[in-house]
Amino acid sequence: MPRYTIDTDEQFEKTLRTLANGGSKADVIRRAVQTYSYLKSQVPHAASGQRVSITDANGVVLKDVILP
């Protein structure tokens, strides 16, 4: 399996630790990349700035996420 080295700041490290919650930081990063890849695949020909909406059970938009 390939290995990667990335430089991060303290805030990134703190966030990563929190998300890992005692688990693997590598798993958090893998899941994040998989999620981003899935979201981008849903709008493969869209220009930068495409929005993905998070909605509640009634379809009310709780948050828009703008994909780079």
Interval 9-26: pLDDT, tens: 999 999 999 999 999 999
* Identity of the residue numbered 50: Q
Is residue 55 one of the residues assigned to a domain? yes
Is residue 2 one of the residues assigned to a domain? no
Asked if pLDDT for residue 47 goes beyond 90, the answer is no
Cβ contact 54:63 at 8 Å? yes
Domain carrying residue 45: 10-66
The residue written with tokens 């303290």 in the block is: 10
Query: pLDDT at position 27, please?
Result: 95
Is residue 28 one of the residues assigned to a domain? yes
Q: Which helix (H) or strand (E) holds 61?
A: strand 61-66
Q: How many domains does the chain have?
A: 1
User: 47-66: b or e for each residue (b if 16 or more CB lie within 10 Å)?
Assistant: eeebeeeeeeeeeeeeeeee
In this prediction, residues 16-45 reach a mean pLDDT of 90
Provide the CA 66 distance to its chain's centre, in angstroms. 11
- Cα distance between residue 12 and residue 19, in whole Å: 10
